[in-house]
Chains A and B, each alone.
Chain A
Amino acid sequence: MGLRSELHFDAVVIGGGTAGLIAATRLAEGGASVSVLAKGVGSTHLAPGTVDVLGYAPERVEEPGRAVAELAAARPDHPYALIGLDAIGESLAWFAEQVAEGPLPGYRYVGSLERNHLLPTAVGAMRPSTLVPETMAAGDLRSGEPICVVGSRMLRDFHAALCAANLARAGIEARSVEVAFEVDRADQSSLGLARRFDDAAWRAAFAAQLGSLLKPGERVGLPAVLGLADPHGVWSDLRERLGRAVFEIPTLPPSVPGIRLFELLRSALRRNGGRLVLGSEVTGAERADGRVVAVIGHASGRDVRYVASSFVLATGGFGSGAIELGSDWVTRDTVLGLPLRGEPAAGEPRFVPEYLAEQPMSRVGVAVDGQLRAEGAENVAVAGAALPGAVPWRELSGEGIAVASGYRAASTLLSTAAAGAAA
């Protein structure tokens, strides 16, 4: 029989975060046979589950569409400049459709490039965000309705009083109440609570207790734990029982809306015929004639050679370890070894003292052309945090770049495949 351990696909996507799953789903929808190789679960479980397109540029952004256009004009090296506003809008609409077709009935994302939402964070800061789960939308701080933030001593890491006090400091009418959630363990996480909320009887008892603590005219901000199996149902039920607007506030990890997002994206991939190999780290690549021919996926006992006509590199940046800065001050793409761009020039500072400042080194990413094709490997497209030129945590642009570049990278590869077939 002969050992080979080899599989062939039209496209192999490396990375199972938002960018990778979006790219793979779009490729599969376009008719390609696709396999996603993911070392583990990506950042979805840690992020709030919103799609922040552009929050700061550098002032707080009200109209993300307009601000993206200005950013693109000023910074031609930024991923948004390469993708273009139209493709960003297209990708967001496509994303919202994929979510709506998913396994969570009624759960949908709302918002547009016209106007950002302005939502409270867990510590009561204000966060501009573009596409958000409907369950968060009523938290918009530009509405004058007073807010009651609900917490519990049983849920660590969510301090309703702190959240409300900070909102009040910013001039928003907010107060907090504490509810005694019934739990069976000292280390209750947001995920465990979310499962409780899926239980109708438990939820009814919770709503009855909370209802008595609310004042007329208040909307209710809860930590983002309103169910995993049917969040739309849980949220609607609470609105009805409490007779007022209810919204979720993202928590510290684990992020329940992020877990929902991962399940939605994974199911979109499966629905379109793509496959996901979870737990397989890409440990090597074979290259020939300016192309990547195959990648090696680590597997138990014996690695698997994944041969494909095209690849998407959606491995993340420094945060995931996909891009590395060595003690020799040399940066590398640790997965495919592709050329990078964005390193500070000789003599320029690599880092600046303030931790959250715009760190010059953080702009490093895999060098791409205007269609997100990797330099030095014409059949590889790059998506997400592996792209150079952005500072997502300052811009609040991480998921926006992930969605738009994942979608754009797939379009590039699909049109190349179509052109190849026509020729």
Chain B
Amino acid sequence: MSADVDVLRSLLRAEELRGSLDHCVKCTICETQCPVSNVSPLFPGPKYAGPQAERYRVADQPSAEWSVDYCSGCGICTQVCPQGVKIAEINAQARNKLKREHGVPLRDRIITRPTWLGRAATPVAPLANLSLRLRPVRILGEKILKVHRDAATPGFAGWRFSRWARKRTSPRTGRKVVYFHNCGTEYYEPWEGQKVVQILEHNGFEVVVPKQDCCGLPLQSSGLFDDARKVVLRLARALAQHVHDEDTIIVGNATSCTLMLKREAREILGLEHDPYLKLVSERTYDICELLLELHDRGELKTDFRPVEEHIAYHAPCQQQGHWVGKPALDLFALIPGLQVSEMTARCCGIAGTYGLKAEKYDIAMNVGRSLFDQIAASGASEVACDSETCRWQITHATQCKSVHPIDYLHRAYGLDG
């Protein structure tokens, strides 16, 4: 009985999401902020593709047109809408409908599986990295897989964060925090995970690293909802096992993946009724959000050494989707010597896997242009950014080193040795 009620509630929430389009007053504020429609005529904009076109989409009728596939899913439209219309979420569901009707390209089945790629490539990382840099390989990849030859691809680290974490024991302080490292940390940047653990331990936390896997965001953003549901529910169960009491929280450093757990999986994939996901959703923090809250309570150590550096900070779209402001900026303000230029351009263009796709690479680079120009104009030596795919895109486009905001806290704490 109660399961039925939950399903019913979930259906109602989905209808509420779609129904929010009736609040659209056609003010065009979303259109002014959409990174994609402002640089490409292939996407007519969030208002047209969303609340307007949605009125003509009928569940059992074929989709009338393809343009919604060019929405990158950044979510800015929903964030800026003054009327509370769930524009990006409506568009994500329309994209899923397209994929169900027309099939999914092989490419989208492969690049949306970071775990498969990571597991396959890690043991042969030098070879994998070399081949990703070889022009003929990339051209072949573009021809066969439709992954753009110039798109930013990260290097495999050759070792996995979870192996490092498994071999050590976090000091038992009784203040436990569950660490959700994502696939980027696991296979590409395990050192970022080490920094997260060290910062949390420095602040008296005992860090629990459960066995875990992908959050399903790449699948979701490519419109593969059924696969995404399986993947995110598996992760939710894995994390929920470690939530023992009212005090347990989960923290992650990949801002798009924590957003997936907090909101997107529940809303876009229609999983409001899953109790594990609900629990995980309510307990998940982005790392900067958590550290700021600790500081607010007077519980964050502030034994910071000066970091004499001028950096640019770019808050990724998915970080903005947490709707908590820009906690990284508040944290930077605590570090002596650190000079920060806040970037106001909205999006770097990559949107997870969007900018990898051959037909979207140019759009993604044009989307990012104003950000790249701002970075260059700022004169900053490095770029801080909370999302790994955005960092790779920024470095690809600007040649500027780009790191997670916690890197500067790590250095200010003197944890970098």
- B326 at the A interface (CB under 8 A): yes
Say whether A215 faces chain B, with CB atoms less than 8 Å apart.
Answer: no
Surface stretch bound by A, among B74-82, B155-163, B188-196, B302-310: B74-82
In the complex, which of the residues B28, B84, B248, B321 has the most CB atoms of chain A within 10 Å of its own CB atom?
B28
Closest to B333 in A: A273
Is residue A254 contacting chain B, with contact meaning CB distance below 8 A? Answer: yes
Known A-B contacts A4-B293, A6-B293; A42 and B28 likewise in contact (beta carbons under 8 Å): no
Contact A300 B296 (CB under 8 A): no
Q: In the bound complex, what is the Cα–Cα distance between A297 and B45 (angstroms)?
A: 28
Please, what's the 1-or-0 string for B196-222, where 1 marks a CB less than 8 Å from any CB in chain A?
A: 000000000100000000000000000
Query: Counting CB contacts under 8 A, is A277 at the interface?
Result: yes
Within 8 A of B (CB), among A277-322: 277-281, 297-302, 304, 320-321
The answer to the question of B83 belonging to the interface, with a C-beta cut-off of 8 Å to chain A, is: yes
B272 to chain A, nearest CB (A): 12
Closest to A4 in B: B293
A265 to chain B, nearest CB (A): 12
In the assembled complex, A275 has its CB within 8 A of some CB on chain B? yes
Judge whether A170 is part of the interface by a CB distance below 8 angstroms: no
A4-B263 in contact given A42-B82, A254-B32 (Cβ < 8 Å): no
Q: Are B321 and A40 in contact (CB under 8 A)?
A: no
Q: Which residue of B lies closest to A43 (CB)?
A: B82
Contact of A40 with B284 at beta-carbon distance under 8 Å, contacts A7-B292, A302-B262 already known: no
The reply to whether the CB of B297 lies closer than 8 angstroms to some CB of chain A is yes
Q: How far is B287's CA from A69's CA once the two chains are assembled, in angstroms?
A: 53
Q: Is the pair B80, A40 in contact by a Cβ cutoff of 8 Å?
A: yes
Residues of B within 8 A of A35 (CB): 325
Tell me if A2 is interfacial: C-beta within 8 Å of chain B.
Answer: yes
B44 at the interface (CB under 8 A from A): yes
Q: Within the assembled complex, what's the spacing in Å between the Cα atoms of A1 and B79?
A: 29
Contact B342 A254 (CB under 8 A): no
In this complex, what residue of A is CB-closest to B290? Answer: A1
A to B contact number (C-beta, < 8 Å):
122
We find that the number of chain A residues with CB closer than 8 angstroms to chain B is 46
Which residues of chain A are within 8 angstroms of B284 by Cβ–Cβ distance?
301
Chain A's nearest CB lies how many Å from the CB of B26? 9
Contact B247 A1 (CB under 8 A): yes
A191-B32 CB under 8 A given contacts A3-B247, A321-B83: yes
- Does A5 belong to the interface (CB within 8 Å)? yes
Question: A302 contacts which chain B residues (CB < 8 A)?
Answer: 262, 281-283
> Given the known A-B contacts A1-B205, A6-B293, A191-B32, are A275 and B80 also in contact in the complex, defined by CB atoms under 8 Å?
no
A145 to chain B minimum Cβ distance, whole angstroms, is 33
Cβ B38 vs Cβ A191 within 8 A: yes
In the complex, what distance in Å separates the CA atom of A160 from the CA atom of B45? 26
Contact yes or no, B261 A1, CB < 8 A: no
Q: Given that A1-B177, A40-B83, A302-B282 are known contacts, is A279 also in contact with B29, CB under 8 Å in the complex?
A: no
- Residue from B282, B292, B320 within 8 A of A279 (CB atoms): B320
CB nearest to B259 among chain A residues: A300
- Give Cα A277 to B327, complex, Å: 10
**Across-interface contacts of B249 in A (CB, < 8 A):** 1, 3
The reply on B322 being an interface residue by CB < 8 A is yes
B29 and A6 within 8 A (CB): no
For B38, what are the chain A residues with a Cβ–Cβ distance below 8 Å? 191-192, 195
How far, in angstroms, from A2 to B177 measured CA to CA in the complex? Answer: 10
- Judged by a CB distance under 8 angstroms, whether A189 is at the interface is yes
A142 close to B (CB within 8 Å): no
Which size class do B's interface residues fall under? 35 or more
Question: Given the interface contacts A1-B247, A301-B282, A301-B284, does A320 sit within 8 Å of B82 by beta carbon?
Answer: yes
Q: Which residues of A in the span 256-283 have a Cβ within 8 Å of any Cβ on B? A: 259, 263, 266-267, 270, 275-281
Q: Is B31 an interface residue (CB 8 A)?
A: yes
Select from chain B the residue with minimum beta-carbon distance to A256.
B32
Name the residue on B nearest A276 (C-beta): B325
Which of A1, A46, A275 lies in contact with B326, CB distance below 8 A? A275
Q: Let me know if A40 and B293 touch, CB within 8 A.
A: no
Residues of B within 8 A of A1 (CB): 175-177, 205, 247-249
Is B56 an interface residue, CB under 8 A from the partner?
no
A residues 165-194 with Cβ under 8 Å of B?
A: 184-187, 189, 191-192
A279 near B82: Cβ-Cβ < 8 Å: no
- The reply to whether B323 and A279 form a contact with Cβ atoms under 8 Å apart is yes
Contact A3 B323 (CB under 8 A): no
| In the assembled complex, B153 has its CB within 8 A of some CB on chain A | no
Contact A40 B326 (CB under 8 A): no
Q: How far is B169's CA from A187's CA once the two chains are assembled, in angstroms?
A: 59
Inter-chain contact B342/A40, CB cutoff 8 Å: no
**B130, CB-defined interface residue at 8 Å:** no
Q: Does A146 have its Cβ within 8 Å of any Cβ on chain B? A: no
Whether A254 touches B31, Cβ cut-off 8 Å, given contacts A1-B175, A301-B262, A301-B284, is: yes
The contact of A278 among B84, B248, B263, B320, by CB within 8 Å, is B320
- Near B by CB (< 8 A), chain A positions 40-88 give 40-42, 45-46
A279→B263 contact, CB < 8 A:
no
Which residues in B have their C-beta under 8 angstroms from that of A195?
A: 38
**Chain B contacts of A259 at CB under 8 A?**
32
B226 at the interface (CB under 8 A from A): no
Most A Cβ at <10 Å: residue of B41, B175, B284, B320: B41
Chain B 54-91: CB-based contact to A (< 8 A → 1; otherwise 0): 00000000000000000000000011111110000000
Docked pose: A114 CA to B369 CA in angstroms: 44
Contacts of A300 in B (CB 8 A): 259, 262-263, 321-324
A279→B78 contact, CB < 8 A? yes
B33 at the interface (CB under 8 A from A): yes
CB-based contact B330/A187 at 8 Å: no
Is B4 close to A, CB under 8 A? no
A41-B80 contact, Cβ under 8 Å, with A270-B342, A300-B262, A301-B262? yes
Query: What are 27 residue pairs bridging A and B, where the CB atoms are less than 8 Å apart in the complex?
Result: A1-B177, A3-B246, A3-B283, A6-B293, A7-B293, A35-B325, A39-B84, A40-B80, A40-B82, A41-B32, A45-B29, A187-B41, A187-B48, A254-B29, A254-B32, A275-B326, A277-B324, A279-B321, A280-B323, A281-B84, A299-B323, A300-B263, A301-B262, A301-B263, A301-B284, A301-B322, A304-B324
Q: Sorted from nearest, which 4 A-B pairs have the closest CB atoms?
A: A301-B262, A40-B82, A185-B41, A279-B79
18 additional contacts, CB 8 Å, given A42-B82, A301-B261? A1-B205, A1-B249, A2-B247, A3-B247, A3-B283, A6-B297, A45-B28, A187-B45, A189-B31, A191-B32, A267-B344, A279-B78, A279-B320, A279-B321, A300-B262, A301-B282, A301-B322, A304-B324
A residues at B contact (CB < 8 Å): 1-8, 35, 39-42, 45-46, 184-187, 189, 191-192, 195, 253-254, 259, 263, 266-267, 270, 275-281, 297-302, 304, 320-321
